[in-house]
Structure 1
Amino acid sequence: MSVTQNTKLGIWLMVGTTLIFAVQDGLSRHLAGTYNVWMVVMLRYWFFAAFVIALVSRSPGGIRAAVRSRMPKLQMLRGVLLALEICVMVLAFIALGLVESHAVFATYPLLIAALSGPILGETVGWRRWLAIGVGFVGVVVILQPGYGVFRVEALIPLAAALMFALYGLLTRYVARTDAAMVSFFWTGTTGAVVMTAIGIWHFEPMTPGDMGWMALLCMTAALSHWCLIRAYEVAEASAIQPLAYLQLPFATLIGLFVFGEELRLNVAMGAGIVVAAGLFTLWRQHVKSKRPV
């Protein structure tokens, strides 16, 4: 069944997705400040896996079709990468806060562009390489390695960005043979299995109030992915992908006004450089995709 294209709806769905993702990060930061990160992510994945299974079971072919991947090992690797990336990013929220963590994490589109050549065999032109270089100048501005004492914690969100970039590239690679619902199913179920194997050893009781926050985190996880799926159903990726950067200002506002974090000038300037470079690489990729083969 074909879905009618509606770019305006897709844009609003993407805006909503980034806002929910930012709220999700705030909830994760709050809960992981009290409870073990592995347990928090495990509970989140339990709900997410249940949502994935329910959604896939209603799609054509159901679960039986979703299980049949032509690249099961790569699908499992994707699921493991995403689950561990979420854990690393939550650790970054605790160590650095939402503002600085997201400022560094915004480099992931640049990492995708840089690694698309060796992993996917794509050609990266000199303009995109220049943008990648400029983007990492922005990272240097954020980290200020020559000013005072360099914070090793700043490498945590950079590691998360690298993991997410690899996850994104593998997603594009398996999309050559597997349908989107197949990848979605493997992402949720593999992540739930991995996080259960780790998180079950770190289980600790939660207060009734925090159980409510945990339930809200689980619901936002499901809602954000539903909005994201719908956004890509009704609009072209090239039209809405740049809006993913809205998660940075949304998370920054939550960090500033909810957690009392500080937005330092170098972080704002560096994040601006990184985002501008990332948007340029997305635009160049869009231009290249429109060229006749």
Structure 2
Amino acid sequence: MNNGSIDITTLRVFDTMMRTGHVTNTGVQLGLSQPSVSFALNKLRAQVNDPLFVRTTQGMEPTPRADKMAEAIRQVLYVLDNDVFHNEAFNPLTTQRSFTLCMSDIGEIVFLPKLVEHLRRVAPLASIRTVSLSHLDVGKALEAGEVDLAVGYYPDVVQANFYQQKLYEDSFVCLMRTNHPLAKGLSLAQFEASEHLVVRAEGRSHEMFDAFVERHGLQRNVKLVIPHFMSIPHLLLDTDLIATVPQSCALSLLRLGFLKMLALPIAPPQFQLKQHWHARYHEDAANQWLRSAIYEAFSGAFTSSSFAAN
């Protein structure tokens, strides 16, 4: 017996024939012609060297060999249908999954408040964990499944087998305390003469602005360099420092109520915020749903009109 040549259709024909006892009815249930059913049965008969079904006054009755085979074949088909070929639907309302997102602390400021509220409504039992990784480790974590999505500015995640989706475009503005001497307007000379707070975090957007400053020959009187955007409000509150930050970050920090956002005196560079994932999880139902939820929450969420200096 060459069981390597047994195909799934043949097993389905046998299993259905056991239940119907009729070649025509078997074909109707499986969407096969009568000759196709007969061909499959004859192939299986040849493989097991047994007639399997014999015509009697009661119709086509299984042989003892067929009766012996029936339960095992039914189990094989069950495993194939439920464990191999079944793509279980993802239900956000009942999932208790913890999703892991890679983002910098600026990403946490911008994305997490709205995302947590969004998931509270559409996936109330799900939870979120964030990690901050160096640009060298983001791709490895996505590939290994340690991170579901990287959300933010990750220009290095461009290798083969990675997907990306644009969420919105961002740029840069200045932040200062509301009663700052320059709160009514900022000239280029005042920008260069001011004392600057600079954030150099694990994210890459600060590198873009540093390159912009150098390319345009701008001067910054840098008085303080810190690694986290979270510290900005406390440091601006009681000083005359100003900070240049992404616009979406500034809008989020303005909600604290004691900061002022001003346009830069020179047109700043633009950059795209995206979500990134690995090809291994492109068809994963949970990953697809998470990408859709984030896109729904943030696609176009920050428009150019949102960034008008106040």
Larger fraction in strand: 2
Q: TM-score, normalised by structure 2?
A: 0.24
Larger fraction in helix: 1
User: Higher RCO, 1 or 2 (CA under 8 Å, sep at least 6)?
Assistant: 1
